[in-house]
């Protein structure tokens, strides 16, 4: 096992910083990671989605349209519960399966993992890359999430994929995204300053 603080370069390059984003559906994880990448640039910063290799493999195994599973469509929602169940089975057999796939060939120095959902995801990155991997929790009120289209769905919103990090403990960063644009901008500036200090 790699000691904390010693990155394991062969897994896809040696990132200077990995931010592991988590949060409930419609909390704004994608919005925040896209905002950071747009300011840092594609040459420096990559957004990694653990759901990408999951959806790709799920589509292959079940004869589905991978591209349609990537967007926020009714097509994806129709298969969400089955994908969650299938993904859990894969993770139980090999907790690092999707993590290893998502870092393959990434050359940028800053990695934003936009959809960390389980303690096993965080543990994998921290064991593989040490202190370079930090956690970011994006939080939003239920009201804010509902305004963005969130509706509680049994089997989804009460599954481990949504609740696995509810009691994680101390996140390195917490971004409040309740709809106050000025407050969000302040938090993004602080996080961006930290990221730039690692370049």
The string of DSSP letters for the chain reads: -PPTT---GGGTS--SEEEEEE--TTSSHHHHHHHHHHHH-TTTEEEE-THHHHHHHHHHHHT--HHHHHSSSHHHHHHHHHHHHHHHHHHHH-TTHHHHHHHTT---SEEEETT--SHHHHHHHHHHHGGGEEEEEEE--HHHHHHTT----TTTTTSHHHHTTTT----SEEEE-SS-HHHHHHHHHHHHHHHHHT-
Tell whether residue 76 is among the known ligand binding residues. Answer: no
Q: Is 22 annotated as a binding residue?
A: no
Report whether 65 belongs to an annotated binding site.
no
* Residue 68 annotated as part of some ligand binding site: no
183 assigned ligand-binding residue: no
Q: Is 26 annotated as a binding residue?
A: yes
Taking the C-alpha atoms of residue 29 and residue 12, their distance in angstroms, rounded to an integer, is 23
177 annotated as a binding-site residue = yes
Separation of first and last alpha carbons in the chain = 26
24 is in an annotated binding site: yes
Strand partners, 46: 111
Residue with tokens 């989804």: 156
Do the annotations mark residue 82 as ligand-binding?
A: no
Could you tell me which residues are annotated as the binding site? 24-30, 148, 177-178, 187
Known binding-site residue numbers for ATP: 24-30, 148, 178, 187
Binding-site sequence positions for substrate = 177
């Amino acid at each position: 096992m790699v000691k904390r603080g010693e990155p394991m370069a062969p897994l896809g390059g040696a990132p200077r910083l990995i931010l592991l984003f988590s949060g409930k559906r419609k909390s704004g994880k994608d919005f925040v990671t896209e905002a950071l990448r747009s300011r840092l640039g594609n040459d420096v910063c990559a957004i990694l989605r653990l759901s990408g290799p999951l959806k790709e493999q799920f589509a292959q195994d079940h004869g589905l349209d991978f591209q349609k599973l990537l967007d926020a469509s009714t097509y994806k929602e129709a298969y969400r519960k089955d994908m969650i169940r299938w993904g859990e089975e894969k993770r139980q057999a090999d907790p690092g399966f999707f993590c290893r796939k998502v870092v393959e060939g990434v050359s940028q120095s800053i990695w934003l993992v936009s959809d960390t959902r389980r303690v096993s995801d965080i543990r994998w990155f921290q064991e593989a890359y040490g202190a370079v991997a930090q956690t970011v929790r994006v939080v939003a009120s239920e009201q804010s999430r509902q305004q963005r289209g969130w509706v509680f769905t049994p089997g989804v919103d009460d599954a481990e994929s949504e609740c696995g990090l509810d009691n994680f403990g101390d996140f390195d960063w917490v971004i409040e995204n309740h709809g106050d644009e000025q407050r969000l901008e302040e938090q993004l500036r602080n996080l961006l300053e930290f990221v730039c200090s690692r370049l």
